[in-house]
Chains A and B, each alone.
Chain A
């Protein structure tokens, strides 16, 4: 080999190695934030997490100031946020899960029709709409015209519109994975169309559908922006859907705007993050366990 050739090979090998290290370094930098965020919240947030954190509503700013100035744990918790989140998420699920499942099945069953393709495109557009805009919509539709004031119902409607495209897409994807032979076998036995859907399509794909629903729930549980324009927040526990309610992310926003409450924000953020992430992980493990549908 001539010296130029070995020189050239050396150069190429070196740049090859260097690029590999760049890729590894870039990947490490990408995941550092997750450790920083989880670690930061855990260290600063665990102190406030006790029984009262789950059973008592948020303290007022005076109580928090007194506790903070004497170095104690802030009394009270996020009970009003927990119940509010539960109420709105439940209501949103009641609306979004059936409509989402049926629409997903419709698109799958009619995938050759132009109308179904059009509905699929609309779903894709809906999925990309920023959540704050859905807040404006729920404000115009519900706050202004139905409940005539901020309300849990308005919050639920905003969350429903967020959930729908997620459930529709995952339903369609799950249905696509069902082997066509199963349907053919059912039809060969003379099963009517509606029985095929309720007794075969939905049960066979149940775990896939559940994964989609769980993922959608984990997405909307942390939503704040649309709730600011609709549910507003409330200092006490309330289950009236025509009145304002709080939610965990709304409480974080309130706490964040009150310098006395800083310690409580860390805890509330820690709780929300752990809750959402475990829901997220649960749905993923669900999905991988039931690989065949």
Chain B
């Protein structure tokens, strides 16, 4: 029937756009990055140079790779105890109660707040607080960015962990309770061991989020094109250097920024693929 053929063709063509889009993204990033890699070779990745002065231009990605990895890992470390206790609250201690539902909705709301609002709030509310506490002079730097980043990724880690913890068969838990185990002992000896890989995956996926986060980090990290020298030192991430410098870039500098984008794309895709793979094995 004609209608069937047209519909099937329409569905197939739509799916092709995804294929073309994905191929186009990879090819365009790679194509844009060629001048930078041709100029510096693979040394581009390991070099910490960033000098846009005409004539003595030199670019390298390492300062930003380091900034991205440091802020994201630190954010993850801050996020883990928060997300872990919240998911236990929702799926274990108060599973199915109204309180758990409210807590879940509140945590979900955190995921809805736009990145730029986080950045602005961090700048005007959180940064002065850190300065007053005497932790840092200016308030900009890796720690401030990571703190806000941690709040931003908590909902992703929480919702997935909570789901996975609630999937632990109750027979297992009941068996432990019948032997006289306390709740804490059930959590540490039954729930966590049987949900371990899923929980790990939820944190890996949260890390994937943190790696590409742009606006909030750009507003808080201090924008220094060097490897951060400490927790409270300024730096720059791959995403924030693109946000900051893409607008006025051209020629080799633009190619260097696109190359950084390509590297960021590869890193996040690998991290996400790892998380998804663990989840699939778990389920």
Tell me the complex Cα distance, A73–B1, Å: 66
Interface string of A216-247 (1 = CB under 8 A from B): 00100111110011001000000000000000
Query: How many Å from the CB of A49 to the closest CB on chain B?
Result: 15
B113 contacts A107, C-beta separation under 8 Å: no
Q: Which residues of A contact B4 (CB under 8 A)?
A: 192-194
Say which size band chain B's interface belongs to: 35 or more
**Cα distance, A47 to B107, chains bound together (Å):** 28
Please give, as numbers and ranges, the residues of chain A lying within 8 Å of B21 by CB-CB distance. 126, 161, 164
Q: Are A129 and B268 in contact (CB under 8 A)?
A: yes
- A23-B89 contact, Cβ under 8 Å, with A30-B82, A34-B109, A256-B219: yes
What is the chain A residue whose CB lies nearest that of B267? A130
Question: Which residues, 20 to 42 on A, are CB-close (under 8 Å) to B?
Answer: 20, 22-27, 29-31, 33-34, 36-37, 40-41
A119 at the interface (CB under 8 A from B): yes
User: In angstroms, how far is the closest chain A Cβ from the Cβ of B281?
Assistant: 15
B283 to nearest A CB, angstroms? Answer: 14
Q: Is the interface of A mostly helix, strand, loop or mixed?
A: helix
Chain B residues near A130 (CB-CB < 8 A)? 211-214, 239, 264-265, 268
- Report which of B105, B121, B154 forms a contact with A30, defined as CB distance below 8 A: B154
- Say yes or no: B3 contacts A194, CB within 8 Å: yes
Q: Please, how many angstroms separate the alpha-carbon atoms of A269 and B123 in the complex?
A: 13
Interface string of A150-169 (1 = CB under 8 A from B): 00000000000100100010
Inter-chain contact B115/A222, CB cutoff 8 Å? yes
Shortest CB–CB separation between residue A264 and chain B, in angstroms? Answer: 11
Instruction: Check: A125 CB closer than 8 A to any chain B CB.
Output: yes
Interface string of A118-141 (1 = CB under 8 A from B): 010011111011111111110111
With beta carbons under 8 angstroms apart, the residue of A20, A102, A123, A140 that contacts B28 is A140
Q: Check A195 for interface membership: any CB of B closer than 8 A.
A: yes
| Cα distance, A109 to B120, chains bound together (Å) | 44
B19 touches A119 (CB 8 A): yes
Q: Is the CB of A23 within 8 A of B6?
A: no
Chain B nearest Cβ from A46, distance in angstroms: 15
Does residue B170 face the partner (Cβ distance < 8 Å to A)? no
Query: A16, A34, A41, A229: which contacts B106 (Cβ < 8 A)?
Result: A34
Is B10 in contact with A132, judged by CB distance below 8 angstroms? no
CB <8 Å contact, B183 and A20: yes
Quote the shortest CB–CB distance from B102 to chain A (angstroms).
Answer: 9
Q: Which chain A positions have C-beta within 8 A of B17? A: 99, 103
Asked if B167 is an interface residue, CB under 8 A from chain A, the answer is no
Which residues of chain B are near A36, meaning CB under 8 Å?
Answer: 121, 125
Tell me the bound Cα distance from A140 to B25 in angstroms.
Answer: 10
B179 interface hit (Cβ, 8 Å): no
Stretch at the interface among B189-197, B225-233, B241-249: B241-249
Residue with the greatest number of chain B CB neighbours at <10 A, chosen from A116, A124, A225, A253: A225
Report A12 CB to chain B, min CB distance, Å: 5
Q: Is A273 an interface residue (CB 8 A)?
A: yes
- Whole-angstrom distance between the Cβ of B223 and the nearest chain A Cβ: 12
Asked if A94 is an interface residue, CB under 8 A from chain B, the answer is no
Binary interface profile of B, 1-28, with partner A (CB < 8 Å = 1, else 0)?
1011011101110110111011011001
Of B29, B109, B151, B246, the contact of A229 (CB 8 Å cutoff): B246
User: Which chain B residues lie closer than 8 Å to A107 at the CB level?
Assistant: 15
Interface contacts beyond A140-B28, A221-B114, A222-B116: sample of 14 additional A-B pairs, CB < 8 Å, sorted by A: A12-B182, A19-B187, A27-B86, A30-B83, A131-B212, A133-B25, A133-B261, A137-B28, A161-B21, A164-B18, A193-B8, A194-B4, A225-B218, A266-B124
> What 5 A-B pairs have minimum CB-CB distances, sorted nearest first?
A130-B212, A222-B114, A26-B85, A102-B14, A194-B7
Interface of B with A (CB < 8 Å)? 1, 3-4, 6-8, 10-12, 14-15, 17-19, 21-22, 24-25, 28-29, 32, 81-86, 88-89, 93, 103, 105-110, 112-121, 123-125, 151, 154, 158, 182-185, 187, 208, 211-215, 218-219, 239, 242-243, 246-247, 257-258, 261, 264-265, 268-269, 272-273, 276
Taking Cβ atoms with an 8 Å cutoff, the residues of A that contact B are: 12-13, 15-16, 19-20, 22-27, 29-31, 33-34, 36-37, 40-41, 98-99, 102-103, 105-107, 109, 115-116, 119, 122-126, 128-137, 139-141, 161, 164, 168, 192-195, 197-198, 218, 221-225, 228-229, 232, 249, 252-253, 256, 262, 265-266, 269, 272-273, 276-277, 280, 284
15 A-B pairs (CB sep. < 8 Å): A15-B182, A24-B93, A29-B82, A41-B121, A103-B17, A106-B12, A124-B272, A125-B22, A130-B265, A133-B212, A137-B25, A137-B28, A161-B21, A266-B124, A269-B116
